């Protein structure tokens, strides 16, 4: 299974890149996690939040792999447990689906992208920095795969 993480934002602090890579490399070979950074739109100088979201939407849409399950992170999305995430991954893997997770920019995501999603997923009810979201998502994906493989990383 290939999992693509499309994340609006670049130039993350070193600790974000290191933590993300640590979890990504822990995944077994049959689960490949690939991060693709999407350039954020600069704000100010007449660029409103709406214009910025539209520009980021165009970049995200162009980067979306064809035929992947689309999971969009959104504060109003489903609040899954780690076990529910692992069950979804198992279903998608069994169906032969690859998955794309999308992390939006500072002003959020375009409504058309949310409407297109197979799943809207809430990572937390808290407002989190975008770099932290990458790390938390990578960790939860590793945890979900660990659950599926009966690895002792996850404890209930």
Asked whether residue 28 is assigned to any structural domain, the reply reads yes
Closest CA to 32 of 100, 102, 117: 100
Q: In this predicted model, what pLDDT tens digit does every residue of 91-131 receive, in sequence order?
A: 999 999 999 999 999 899 999 999 999 999 999 999 889 89
Asked whether residue 60 is assigned to any structural domain, the reply reads yes
Q: How far apart are CA 69 and CA 45, in angstroms?
A: 36
Asked whether residue 154 is assigned to any structural domain, the reply reads no
- Total domains in the chain come to 1
Q: Tell me, what DSSP letter sits at residue 107?
A: T
Q: What is the CATH number of the domain that holds 103?
A: 3.40.1280.10
Q: In this predicted model, what pLDDT tens digit does every residue of 26-41 receive, in sequence order?
A: 999 999 999 999 999 9
Q: How far apart are CA 101 and CA 8, in angstroms?
A: 11
User: Domain limits at 104?
Assistant: 2-42+50-148
Q: In this predicted model, what pLDDT tens digit does every residue of 56-90 receive, in sequence order?
A: 999 999 999 988 999 999 999 999 999 999 999 99
């Amino acid at each position: 299974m290939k999992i693509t993480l499309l994340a609006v934002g670049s130039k993350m602090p070193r600790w974000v890149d290191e933590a993300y890579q640590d979890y990504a490399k822990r995944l077994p070979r049959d689960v490949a996690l690939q991060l693709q950074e999407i350039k954020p739109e600069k704000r100010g100088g007449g660029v409103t939040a709406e214009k910025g979201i539209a520009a980021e939407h165009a970049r995200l849409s162009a980067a979306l792999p064809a035929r992947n399950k689309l999971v969009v992170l959104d504060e109003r999305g489903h609040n899954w447990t780690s076990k529910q995430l692992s069950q979804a991954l198992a279903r998608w893997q069994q169906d032969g689906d690859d998955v794309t997770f999308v992390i939006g920019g500072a002003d959020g995501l375009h409504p058309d992208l949310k409407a297109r999603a197979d799943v809207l997923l809430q990572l937390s009810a808290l407002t989190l920095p975008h770099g932290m979201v990458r790390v938390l998502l990578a960790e939860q994906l590793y945890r979900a795969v660990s659950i599926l493989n009966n690895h002792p990383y996850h404890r209930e």
